[in-house]
């Protein structure tokens, strides 16, 4: 199985509700390795750039507003099949549809405020890790 990297973002709602430690514990409990991590408040330009693929969606403005309202924790995760494993751990985008034992079931509120982000493909994992951790791209 291939070693992959994926980007996790603990979103402002989860940071506000003091769930950073709980979510990191779930990530580590699932056997995903945290190879880089930092806490920052996204600028509007950073959030718009990160979610560029969603620019034409009706929720884009709301998404950028939410993602910039407070600090986030970005983490580069590594492991066998890390992209799919982290997506399974996060659960469905809408917390109402997320299954028991997932991050969004435990800590998400609704489809907008859903506690965490994870890359949706191996290719995007590389791009998104590079967006916040350019020093890890070539390792």
Stretch of residues binding ligand CMP (CB under 6 A), selected from 17-25, 32-40, 59-67, 96-104: 59-67
> According to CB under 6 A, which one of 84, 92, 111, 122 is a site residue for ligand CMP?
111
Regarding 121 and contact with ligand CMP (CB under 6 A), the answer is no
- Identify whether 54 is a catalytic site residue: no
DSSP element (H, E) containing 89: helix 82-90
* Shortest separation between residue 63's beta carbon and ligand CMP, angstroms: 5
CB 99 within 8 A of CB 106: no
Regarding 109 and contact with ligand CMP (CB under 6 A), the answer is no
C-beta closer to ligand CMP: residue 36 or 112: 112
116 vs 11: CA distance, rounded Å: 5
Number of residues written out for the chain = 139
Regarding 117 and contact with ligand CMP (CB under 6 A), the answer is yes
CB 59 within 8 A of CB 112: yes
DSSP element (H, E) containing 15: helix 12-16
Regarding 59 and contact with ligand CMP (CB under 6 A), the answer is yes
Active site residues: 117
């Amino acid at each position: 199985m291939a070693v992959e990297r994926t980007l996790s973002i603990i979103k402002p709602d989860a940071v506000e509700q003091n769930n950073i430690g709980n979510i990191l514990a779930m990530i580590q409990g699932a056997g995903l390795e945290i190879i880089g991590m930092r806490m920052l408040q996204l600028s509007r330009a950073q959030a718009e750039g990160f979610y560029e693929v969603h620019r034409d969606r009706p929720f884009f403005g709301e998404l950028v507003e939410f993602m910039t309202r407070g600090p986030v924790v970005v983490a580069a995760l590594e492991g066998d099949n890390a992209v799919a494993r982290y997506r399974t751990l996060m659960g469905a985008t809408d917390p109402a549809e997320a299954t028991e034992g997932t991050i969004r079931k435990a800590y998400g509120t609704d489809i907008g405020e859903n506690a965490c982000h994870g890359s949706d493909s191996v290719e995007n994992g590389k791009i998104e890790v590079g967006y916040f951790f350019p020093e890890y791209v070539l390792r």
